[in-house]
Every structure is written in structure tokens, then in C-alpha cells.
Amino acid sequence: MFLLNRTLGKLFSLQHRIQYIKIMNKKPSWFKANFVEWILVAFLLQPALCQLCFHNNFAPHPLKGNEHFQQIMVNDFGDVYLIEQNLSEIYRLDSTGKVLNRNGGFGWGTAQLNQPMDLGSSNGLDVIVVDRANHRLLYFDRQLNYLSQLALRQYVAEIAYPMAVATSRLGELFILLAETNQVLKIETLKKTTSYFGGFEYGRYALRLPQTLRFDKIGIIVVAEQDGTLLEYDRFGTPLLRIEPPKRLNVNDLIIVGDNRLLINNGTPKLLCYARRTNSWTEWQLPEMPTQCRLMSGSLNGNRIYFLLDNNAIYSYDLLDTHQKPPRIK
């Protein structure tokens, strides 16, 4: 089914599928679609409901010329935040790519960073930066003014190397740890900690985790480097393990409703697992340069922003994946 969907996606563009349905809708009232036509419409429509519509693209400016961005996050206000790899800095852009604020810089002091890995937010008004080699999380406000830090050594005995962070509405922090391949849960109000995903989890143990995210109902989704998805509830109870249709090299994970979008460093660039139908589909990215690699992505409302390896940012609007197929008369 995966290969068939991919083939049809190339043969029939989204515009062609929509045009076919419009033609079918213009049939005389006495026309009754036969079984084959019903199947054709349903089959052609299925990929269309899981695709993206190009919105625009822009690039950060002004730049010094040696910047390389690796991670993107867009908050509820439309602020675009980027991690810059070479100088270990954090950037804030407007919707046109203009650099509004920046902070960080390589080091070990207050507001300095050493291998920043991921971005998050606890309330939409702050920015959390995963500062891997400094073994901590740094908190900034919307304008990237330094607020505070959370040193992991006060919660764990061993040296912790955080990779990614996700927050719950209850103030819980879920931090993906690299060396131990576990998720550290910190309840900041109670100052309690727990772990899950370790080797004792057997089939649900993490092996080469890449990132983790929360879905809308509070399920924690961890993406392994090869594309395997592991899901847990907020207490660390294993729920689901999903194998990809082919081995991937995952850069990032985006949660879109019940869908899990894997950004792959290769082909296909974007692979979607639909939890509701237990199926995989390649999502097309019209207007995007084929030679560019996807580094990261972020969902804001009904729009997804993708960061490319050439520092460009492409945005796409989501089509309604829950809309009913057009009625055929």
C-alpha cells in the first residue's frame, strides 16, 4: 500500500484529483457512479487528504554568512525560533525571516550554550533550550531575554546529556537522555523524578532515540533514529510500538493530530504514520527544492514550518484530514 500510494501520488497531482472529483460532481442527476468509479474516487482522494499546500518560503536575514541552523520552533504568536549550530546561538525571527533577537553563544556561563539540541515551551510565553553539554535546560522569554536554568544534576546522580524536551499542561518535563537511552520525567512542583524507556522495558526499550513529542491527548511519542515510534502515557506505561515501512534516518518528529510526521534525512523526506488507520503514507512537499534536506519542522495552528539545510524555511498549510469526501451525484 505504501508503494502504491507513492506511485499514485506521482501520477495524480492534488489538483488532478480535485479536478476529477469536480467533474464527477457535475454529472447529471440521473448519473449513478458505478463500482469502479466509486473505488477510483475514494482511492484518489485518500492521498489528497494527507497532503500539504505550499504557503510561502523565506530565509533568516540579515546574517553574518557562516550560520547553520538545525532546529526550528514556532510559538502561538507566530514567532520563529532557530538553533544556530556553529555559534551555539538562539534566534527569533518574524514571519518574513527578519532577525528580531538573538542570545546564547558558546560557553558555560549564564545564558551561554554548549551543543544546544532542542527547543520547547512550557506555556507559549517562554522558550526552553536543551543545553546538552552543559547538562541543563535554559529558559528565555519571548524576546530571548534570559530567565532561569534547570540544572539536571540536582535531579539525577549521574551526568545527564539531554537531547530533547517536551512539557505537559500539568507542568511536567519529559527529557530525552542520550547516554542512558531513557526519558527523565520531572514534576517541577513536587520536585520528584522518574524514568522510563530503559532496557528493562524489553520490546519498548529505547535503543537509538532521536527526539520526543507530546500529542494532543498527552501521549509521549519517541522517534528512534531508524524511524521506529514508541508511545507511552505520561506515567511511562508503554502503549504502542510502530515499525516504519523502511529504515529511515530521522531528523525530527512533528505531531499533527493523530498523525506522526517523521522528517527523514533521505528519501522519502516526509513520512506520515496515521494512528487512526495504522498506515504509513509519504507526504508530498510541492515547491520545495529536491536537492535540499529537511532539518526540522514545527506545527503552528494549521501550518507546518520546515527548516532546510540551506537555512531556508518553507511553510505549508494542512488540508483537512478529517473532511468528508465530496458527495457524488
Looking at every residue in the chain, the average pLDDT score rounds to: 86
Domain ranges of the chain: 50-318
> Residue 183: enclosing H or E segment and its boundaries?
strand 182-187
The pLDDT value given to residue 189: 78
Measured distance CA(58)–CA(291) in Å, rounded: 17
State yes or no: pLDDT of 13 exceeds 70: no
The pLDDT value given to residue 34: 55
Question: 17-31, 46-60, 205-219, 258-272: which range is least confident on average?
Answer: 17-31
In this predicted model, which residue has the larger pLDDT, 209 or 30? 209
Q: Which fold has domain 50-318?
A: Neuraminidase (2.120.10)
State percent of the chain over pLDDT 70.
82
Amino acid letter at 307? L
Cβ pair 311, 59 in contact under 8 A = yes
**45-96 pLDDT per residue, tens:** 444 344 899 999 999 999 988 999 999 999 999 999 999 999 999 999 999 9
The secondary structure of 251-288, three-state, reads EEEEEECCEEEEEECCCCCEEEEECCCCEEEECCCCCC
pTM: 0.82
